[in-house]
Amino acid sequence: MSLDSQLDWTGFFMSNGENSWGVGYSEIMFFSQVLHSHTAVASFTRSKDIVFDIVRLANTSPLRVLLLSEYRLGESAAYKALQDFSDIQVIVNNGNWNAVVLNKIDFKKQTGIHVMEVRNFLGALNDPAFG
Partner 1 sequence: MTRRSDDTYSRVAAKVIDIISSLPPEAVIGDVFLFGSALSKEEPADIDILLIIDELSITPSTAYCKAEPMTLLIEAATGKPVDLTILTNTEEANSQFSETVNAHRILKRLLSPPH
The yes or no reply on residue 99 touching partner 1 (CB under 8 A) is yes
The yes or no reply on residue 113 touching partner 1 (CB under 8 A) is no
Smallest gap from Cβ 119 to partner 1, in A, equals 18
The torsion defined by the Cα of 38, 24, 14 and 55, in degrees rounded to 10, comes to 30
Closest C-alpha to 113, from 85, 123, 122, 99: 85
Q: Which of 72, 108, 119, 123 binds partner 1 (CB under 8 A)?
A: 72
The torsion defined by the Cα of 79, 72, 19 and 35, in degrees rounded to 10, comes to -100
The yes or no reply on residue 74 touching partner 1 (CB under 8 A) is yes
Q: Which of 35, 41, 63, 77 binds partner 1 (CB under 8 A)?
A: 77
Sequence-distant (≥ 6) Cβ neighbours of residue 5 within 8 angstroms: 45, 47
CB of 101 or CB of 122, closer to partner 1: 101
CB of 40 or CB of 102, closer to partner 1: 102
